[in-house]
Amino acid sequence: MIAITRTKGWMKKLGGWHSDVWNYLANIQELISGVATRLVIYTIKMVEADKEYSQKLPEHTKGLTIQISDATAFRLATEPGRVAEAKRPYWTVATNTSFDEDDLDLTDTTLYFASSTADKTVEIFVKV
């Protein structure tokens, strides 16, 4: 396999569109490698108890950690209408724990969460 950095030289010979080819190959390499290139942190204030709150994740999310700042238990789902009224399926994140996932490639994904206690803050750490 030829390293992408070595291909840059011969691509200049292709003419003015070599930068398009280079960007295309760089995007493929990033997707194949599965390595996060940036980190995103969200904090969402859940003012009301048992109310559904949500956060859309960036395209190609590689991993995430979600928790409540004071380690309170909460409910988590990927479908709307599940967590506010505790309608299964949803995931219960227990007290003093977080929900951690790696080795992902999520597209068009929104997380939904709720807590039985008011005035809590959800913290989401995303690897993109």
User: Distance (Å, rounded) from C-alpha 100 to C-alpha 112?
Assistant: 15
| Residue 24 shares a structural domain with residue 44 | no
How many Å separate Cα 45 from the centre of its chain? 18
| Residue 118 shares a structural domain with residue 97 | yes
| Residue 22 shares a structural domain with residue 83 | no
Q: Which domain holds residue 84?
A: 39-127
Average pLDDT of the chain? 85
Q: With cut-offs at 50, 70 and 90, classify the pLDDT of residue 27.
A: low
pLDDT in the model for residue 31: 53
Token digits for 72? 């309170």
Q: Does residue 36 register a pLDDT over 50?
A: yes
| Residue 72 shares a structural domain with residue 9 | no
What average pLDDT score do residues 24-50 get? 78
Q: Does residue 32 register a pLDDT over 60?
A: no
Token digits for 8? 């840059």
| Residue 24 shares a structural domain with residue 78 | no
pLDDT in the model for residue 51: 98
pLDDT tens-place string over residues 6-22: 555 555 555 555 556 65
Question: What is the percentage of the chain residues whose pLDDT exceeds 70?
Answer: 73
Q: With cut-offs at 50, 70 and 90, classify the pLDDT of residue 37.
A: confident
Claim: this prediction has a pTM higher than 0.85? no
Token digits for 20? 């398009």
